[in-house]
């Protein structure tokens, strides 16, 4: 028989550590785990908002409705395109800015502060600013284009679905660029300078040094950043809500905003929960596939490739 006093004496550090972590575990459970489990359950049910209870279980009816809906299918395709556009555009712009900030020139410190400023602007405020900039009557962009003679009449930028979606993408790219720029800049400053100097002595030009040395060395930093940015882009909501409310004609309704519409406009929590898990599966696949591909490559072909 185990002596309880001896057991607690031998494991007092582990028990103390567990008691210290216990409040955080409760917060995690009620903030993340419980809503995830509850959402999974009601994705297979009809939920009564009046009684706040499950009316009946309907199996895969909610999922069948979603996958047979052209509007939902369009939202999924639009979300993936929106995420890829923001992901790659932000990475390219941030990398170029970080290359500039890595050089020594007068005013570099001030420019670094200016680059970081969009990151400090709240998403709603950012949406309002870009909405004013692309406004049909009082927008800065229309006034500038009209002044220099590129347009003869003011353009309603947010009236066309494709144009409005790219306006939202520009707003998201503007806000996300500082985040990636800081990481790229930190990565550039940690690279060994001897490698570039040796390549320059051997006669490698700027393009060769960039393509064969700089980009391969920066890929371990770029790929995780792009995955994170893709996930954040798929969760975009504030800017869409402020600028277009998913319009015109649903042309800017991404999957995350579709979930909001189902839950808080049509009050169908079952479909909203099912759509939320579809978004989770897509996000999970996007994150896991590159990692799994790299693991398989290193496991089966990496050694041969190095040889």
Average pLDDT of the chain is 85
How many domains does the chain contain in total?
1
Whether 205 is covered by a domain: the verdict is yes
- 85 occurs within a structural domain: yes
Quickly state the pLDDT bin for 307 (edges 50, 70, 90).
very low
Contacts 24+ apart (CB under 8 A), 82-85: 82/165, 82/168, 82/169, 82/233, 82/234, 82/236, 82/254, 83/230, 83/231, 83/233, 83/234, 83/286, 84/230, 85/166, 85/169
- The pLDDT value recorded for residue 4 is 59
| pLDDT above 90 for 240 | yes
Answer whether residue 34 is part of any domain.
Answer: no
Query: Out of 29-38, 65-74, 127-136, which region has the weakest mean confidence (pLDDT)?
Result: 29-38
Is residue 118's pLDDT more than 80? yes
Q: Identify the band that residue 306 occupies on the pLDDT scale cut at 50, 70 and 90.
A: very low
Q: Which domain holds residue 164?
A: 61-300
User: What pLDDT does 200 receive?
Assistant: 82
pLDDT at 69 over 50: yes
> pLDDT value at position 278?
92
Instruction: Give the model's pLDDT for residue 193.
Output: 81
Average pLDDT over residues 255-259: 94
Q: How many CB atoms lie within 10 A of CB 263?
A: 19
Q: Tell me the pLDDT tens digit for each residue of 159-214.
A: 899 999 999 999 999 999 999 999 999 998 888 888 887 888 878 887 888 888 88
Mean local confidence (pLDDT), 217-224: 87
Q: Residue 47: helix, strand or coil by DSSP?
A: strand
Name 273's Cβ contacts closer than 8 Å, sequence gap at least 6: 39, 40, 42, 43, 62
How confident is the model at residue 171, as a pLDDT? 93
User: Domain for residue 18, yes or no?
Assistant: no
Asked whether residue 100 is domain-assigned, the answer is: yes
pLDDT at 63: 93
Share of the chain above pLDDT 70, in %: 92
Residue 212: inside a domain: yes
The verdict on residue 6 lying in a domain is: no
pLDDT one-digit tens code per residue, 19-32? 888 888 888 887 88
Find the farthest-apart pair of alpha carbons in the chain and give their distance in angstroms, rounded. 91
pTM of the model: 0.85
pLDDT of residue 76: 93
In a domain, 15, yes or no: no
Domain of residue 113, CATH code? 1.10.3720.10
**Which pLDDT band holds residue 285 (cuts at 50, 70, 90)?**
confident
């Amino acid at each position: 028989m185990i002596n309880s006093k001896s057991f607690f004496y031998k494991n007092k550090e582990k028990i103390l550590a567990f008691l210290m972590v216990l409040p955080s575990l409760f917060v995690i459970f009620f903030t993340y785990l419980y809503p995830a489990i509850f959402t999974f359950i009601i994705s297979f049910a009809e939920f009564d908002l009046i009684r706040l209870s499950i009316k009946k279980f309907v199996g895969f009816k909610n999922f069948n409705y979603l996958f047979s809906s052209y509007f939902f299918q369009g939202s999924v395709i639009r979300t993936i395109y929106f995420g890829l556009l923001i992901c790659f555009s932000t990475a390219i712009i941030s990398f170029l800015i970080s290359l500039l900030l890595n050089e020594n020139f007068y005013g570099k410190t001030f420019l670094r502060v200016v680059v970081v400023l969009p990151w400090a602007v709240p998403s709603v405020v950012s949406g309002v600013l870009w909405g004013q900039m692309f406004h049909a009557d009082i927008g800065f962009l229309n006034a500038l284009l009209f002044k220099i003679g590129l347009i003869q009449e003011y353009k309603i930028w947010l009236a066309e679905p494709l144009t409005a979606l790219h306006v939202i993408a520009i707003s998201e790219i503007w806000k996300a660029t500082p985040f990636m720029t800081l990481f790229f800049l930190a990565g550039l400053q940690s690279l060994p300078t001897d490698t570039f100097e040796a390549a320059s002595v051997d006669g490698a030009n700027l393009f060769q040094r960039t393509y064969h040395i700089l980009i391969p060395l920066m890929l371990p930093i770029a790929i995780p950043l792009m995955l994170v940015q893709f996930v954040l882009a798929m969760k975009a909501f504030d800017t869409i809500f402020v600028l277009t409310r998913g319009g015109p004609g649903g042309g800017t309704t991404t999957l995350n905003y579709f979930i909001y519409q189902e839950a808080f406009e049509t009050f169908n929590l079952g479909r909203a929960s099912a759509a939320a898990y579809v978004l989770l599966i897509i996000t999970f696949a996007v994150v896991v596939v590159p990692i799994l591909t790299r693991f398989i490559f290193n496991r089966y072909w990496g050694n041969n490739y190095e040889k």
